[in-house]
Structure 1
Amino acid sequence: MTRNVLIAGAGPGVSGSLARLYAAEGATVGLLGADQGVLATLADQVEAAGGSAETAVADLTDDVATRAVVTRMAEKLGHVDVLHFNPSAYREKDPLALSPDELLEDVRLGVGALLTFLQAARPFMGPGGRLSATGSMAADKPWFGAASLGVQKAGLQNLVRSIDAALAGDGIRAVSVTVRGMLAKEGPFAPDNVAKALRAAIDQDESDWRPEIAYEG
């Protein structure tokens, strides 16, 4: 059976690398993102790697519109095996400059949008389904100069744990991978290597499942 993967916040970095990993196995990859040009490039890469691609431009902070997009894509695919949640908002403001509204706006994308994504896809997932999320060391070692990012990543890690506990009884598991390093073009924190760590986390043995895994590079 063809594996179907949906990626929210698809872009040229880690999420693109993960899409190509699955494509190499013949998967169909649904790509949701904000930039049509980026999505078109990723779709070409997915197909070149041996998979099939579906794309949709989506403002992930728009709950109604995103639910509709995810539902349409999942209906077309028929079933969903893997969800990957990638987006976050980077706003270079420290706690003395960051407003409550700005913080909530960023959390809506980096955490809240996961609820929309999951809830819309859930009817199309069965036992063996998996959800993953790109985490960050900012969750417990935040940089004060971009205070909202640490809040997002801490909230994401916490929410993924709750999702895993809520769905484990249905045979669906969730995991966040805490990337403990700065992404780089080369080396252990290059997107391709981080994507491999994500894939390993998604494929971990359910009998010894961990909902949060640190990638140290």
Structure 2
Amino acid sequence: MSSVAIVGAGPGLGAAVARRFGREGFAVALFARNRERLDRLVEGLDESGVQAHGFVADVRRPQELVRALGRAAEELGTVEVLQYSPVPHRDFMRPVLETGPRDLVGPLEFSVYGPVAAVQAVLPGMRRLGRGTILFVNGGTAAVPHTERAGTSIAFAAESAYGHLLHERLAGEGIHVAQLVIPGAITPGHVRKDPDVLAEVLWGMHRERHGFRHFADDLDS
């Protein structure tokens, strides 16, 4: 059995993706910083018929994340699908003229060092399988930078560049890399940004395997 690893799992999008991939027979590995939140998420998924396992890891501590992904692969099966979708901290979103070098450390750890570490951890297993999918989920500033959200604008741009490079490099190996840009907030009940709708989009990206950047909604929405 292979698994889906959801890095930055929460009760909204993370849970919806876990349900969607779980229905398709994937073992589900959830990664977050807080054990209690993970346990509640796992319990809720179990009640909906999806068996998931939680692994504590902070994406700003690359080696911790690598070890957690390794444990997940050992316990649940090779990671065939990696979704990197942690929600950025609010203090990453400072105006550009108030953003100094130290203010960029956190965003870069979060959106560059974390995903690079995660990809490096799962890539050998995907290569052994001969297939895999890597999904990056970002906010609208990944596509259009915002002067009041400098940290995420800069870090998401770097994450996007990394993802695009992977998309080009790994396509020939049967490993698809794609990005979903979600402008604004994930909103239950929204026709395009409801968590279950977004989970279906991500499932489609995994199955259809075309193109790098996809948009959940119009950028001005």
Q: TM-score, normalised by structure 2?
A: 0.88
Residue 74 of structure 1 is matched in structure 2 by 73
| 1:159 equivalent among 159, 162, 169 | 162
Residue 61 of structure 2 is matched in structure 1 by 62
**29-38 or 46-55, larger mean C-alpha shift:** 46-55
How far residue 5 of structure 1 moved from its aligned partner, in angstroms, is 0.5
Residue 200 of structure 1 is matched in structure 2 by 204
What do the CA deviations read for 1:115-149 (whole angstroms, capped 9, x no partner)? Answer: 11111112222222111011222123233222111
Structure 2, unpaired ranges of 5+:
none
Verify: 1:34 aligned to 2:33, yes or no.
yes
Residue 124 of structure 1 is matched in structure 2 by 125
Q: TM-score, normalised by structure 1?
A: 0.89
**CA-atom RMSD in angstroms:** 1.8
Verify: 1:176 aligned to 2:179, yes or no.
yes
Q: Distance in 2 between matches of 1:165 and 1:89?
A: 30
Residue 84 of structure 2 is matched in structure 1 by 85
How far residue 178 of structure 1 moved from its aligned partner, in angstroms, is 1.4
Q: Distance in 2 between matches of 1:148 and 1:30?
A: 28
State percent identity of aligned pairs. Answer: 24
What do the CA deviations read for 1:13-64 (whole angstroms, capped 9, x no partner)? Answer: 2122111111223321111101112211221233233332121111111122
Does the 8 A contact of 2:104 with 2:151 survive in 1?
A: yes
Total equivalences in the alignment:
213
**48-57 or 155-164, larger mean C-alpha shift:** 48-57
Structure 1, unpaired ranges of 5+:
none
Q: Distance in 1 between matches of 2:162 and 2:29?
A: 23
SS of aligned partner of 1:81: strand
- Residue type of the partner of 1:180? P
